[in-house]
Amino acid sequence: MIKRPGGELASRPLHFIWIADSSGSMEQDGKIQSLNTAIREAVPHMKKVAEDNPNAQVLVRAVKFSNGAQWHISQPTPVADFGWTDLVAEGETDMGKGLELVAEQLKMPPMSDRALPPVLVLVSDGQPTDDFDAGLKALMDQPWGKKAVRIAISIGRDVDDEVLQKFIGNSELKPLAANSPEALVRHIKWASTAVLKSASSPAAGAEVPAGMDTANVPIPTAAPAPAGAATTAGTPNTAAPTGTPAGTQDPNDQNTIDDVW
C-alpha cells in the first residue's frame, strides 16, 4: 500500500507476460537452455524493481508456443513469489496461437480497468508456422493489447524480424537481436528491469482512456549495453549508439566473434 495524506492507495496490477518460443529449433546449440538460464537470472532483478516501485503490483506468468500454445506458468504470480520452470523444446512455431492465448487473458474480465499497461515480451528463434496475423489481430482487438508495452527478442539469424516488428508496433523500438547466450542474458535482463521499471513508474499509472494506445506510456529508449561496458561513473552504459534506433544495438556490433547462433 502507498501512503498518502488522508489514507492509503492500493497498488495497481501490472501483468508481465513472457511469450516464449519452445519449438524444436530452440533445442539447437543450447538455445532453450540459454533462455531458461537468462529468465531465471533475471527474476531477482525483477523483484528488486518491483520493490522500488510500490505503486505497481507486478504479476508474472508465461506462455509457450510450439505445436499450439499453452500457459507455461498460468497463474498471475506476484513477482516476489515467482520461480521459473524450465522450458523443453519440441514441435513447430505456432506464434499466432501464443498471441491468441494472451489476448484471451487481456479481456475485461479477467483484466481490471485499474491495471497498469501490461508488458509482453516475445522471444523467438524462427518464423511462425501458423497464422501470425490472426493472432496479432486477436491481441490488438483487446484494449489492453493495444495499450501493452510490447518487446521482442530474436534468437539467432533465422528470425522473421518483420513479424517481430509487427508485434512491437513501434517503429522506434526494434527487435533485440541475440546471437549468443551472453547477448540473450543481456536483453532478457533489460526487458525484465528497464522496461518493467518504466511501465510501473508513477507516470505510467495515470488514467488511460479506453481505446488509447501506449503513446503516453513511458517506454525505455536506451539499448542494452554490451557486457562490460560502463560509464565514467562505473555504472552500466545503456545509451544507444548515435544514429541507432532506440531499443536496438548498433547493427555493426551484431557480427562479433561471440556469435554462436
Query: Could you state, in order of their start, the residue ranges of all structural domains in the chain?
Result: 14-253
Nearest to 214 by CA among 169, 152, 161, 165: 169
Examine the pLDDT at 233 and tell me if it is beyond 80: no
Highest mean pLDDT among 7-11, 176-180, 248-252: 176-180
Query: How far does Cα 17 stand from its chain's mean position?
Result: 7
86 has pLDDT over 60: yes
- Which class in CATH covers the domain with range 14-253? alpha beta
pLDDT at residue 225, as a whole number: 54
Peptide bond into 218 cis (omega under 30): no
Q: Give the per-residue pLDDT at 1.
A: 44
User: Lowest mean pLDDT: which of 99-113, 158-172, 191-205?
Assistant: 191-205
Mean pLDDT of the chain: 82
The set of residues, in sequence order, having a beta carbon less than 8 Å from that of 28 and lying 6+ positions away, is none
CB 15 within 8 A of CB 76: yes
Q: In the prediction, which pLDDT does 260 show?
A: 80
CA distance 14 to 6: 25
pTM reported for the whole predicted model: 0.81
Give the per-residue pLDDT at 234.
35
Q: How confident is the model at residue 255 (pLDDT cuts 50, 70, 90)?
A: very low
Lowest mean pLDDT among 71-80, 121-130, 198-207, 236-245: 236-245
- The CA distances from residue 9 to 4, 54, 55, in Å, are 7, 10, 8
Give me the pLDDT at residue 213, please: 42
- For 178, the 3-state DSSP assignment is strand
pLDDT at 89: 98
Q: What is the distance between the alpha carbons of residues 41 and 26, in angstroms, rounded to a whole number?
A: 19
